[in-house]
Amino acid sequence: MTQTNPENTTPHKHGIGVHDALDTLVQMRGERHIVVTNQVSSRLWPTLSDHPLDLNYNPSAMGGAIPLGLGLALAQPDYEIIVLSGDGSLLMNLGCLVTVVDSGVTNLSIVLLDNGQYEVTGGQKTPGYNGANYAGLARASGFPCVHHFTEAATWQNEAANSLSGTGPRFVWLTIRPQPGDYGKSVGRPIQKQMARLRQQFRADAQ
């Protein structure tokens, strides 16, 4: 396991820029990677990627992206699913980590964007701002592949490896808060996103 800062003692202001974190994923994602975003990531991802397998989920449904990704992983075992979740969203639904492991899926990766804030609601600190060990939570839940990155260069160098080990996988990124540095919508309406996703499934099945 790559764990550069196991106790989360590094202040968030010294973490990875969120654009750098997401751009690394854009560069390494494969043609059969479904990327599910939520909250802040759902507003930033469309500015970096316009792939048929992008699903920029309702940005107000905190805690819902990981269960959605799990459903996709179970229903579409021939695809790799990457779920981008904020720390605030994960804290709304910590039980989903146990559910993911219990499901037996191996084609699901959770990438936690931990900026220590409920950013879209005003920048309030999350309960785990300066103490939660998310890698420890993932390991205790049974994830076989757990990584933690606090520097952009290390994340860029290790992203492909950390997302290709035995799944399910959990990658914790310490992110610098960048309040307001995102779009105000998720790009295409969700109905159009789902239609495009179904169309891509049919095309891939031919």
Identify which of 103, 94, 108 has the alpha carbon closest to the alpha carbon of residue 168. 108
pLDDT of res. 111: 97
Half-sphere exposure of 104 (CA within 13 A, CB side): 2
Please name the residues in contact with 177: beta carbons below 8 A apart, sequence gap of 6 or more: 12, 13, 115, 116, 117, 119, 123
Half-sphere exposure of 32 (CA within 13 A, CB side): 14
pLDDT of res. 77: 95
pLDDT of res. 184: 60
User: Is the separation of the CB atoms in 30 and 80 below 8 Å?
Assistant: yes
Task: Domain ranges for the chain, please list them.
Answer: 12-205
pTM over 0.75: yes
Q: What is the DSSP letter of 119?
A: G
pLDDT of res. 194: 85
User: Is the separation of the CB atoms in 86 and 66 below 8 Å?
Assistant: no
pLDDT of res. 186: 57
CATH superfamily entry for domain 12-205: Thiamin diphosphate (ThDP)-binding fold, Pyr/PP domains (3.40.50.970)
Tens-level pLDDT at each residue, the chain (206 residues):
444 444 443 446 678 998 899 999 999 998 899 999 887 776 777 778 788 898 887 656 788 899 999 999 999 999 999 999 988 889 989 999 999 999 999 999 999 999 887 766 666 787 877 778 999 999 999 999 999 999 999 999 999 999 998 899 999 999 888 766 555 655 677 788 888 889 888 998 88
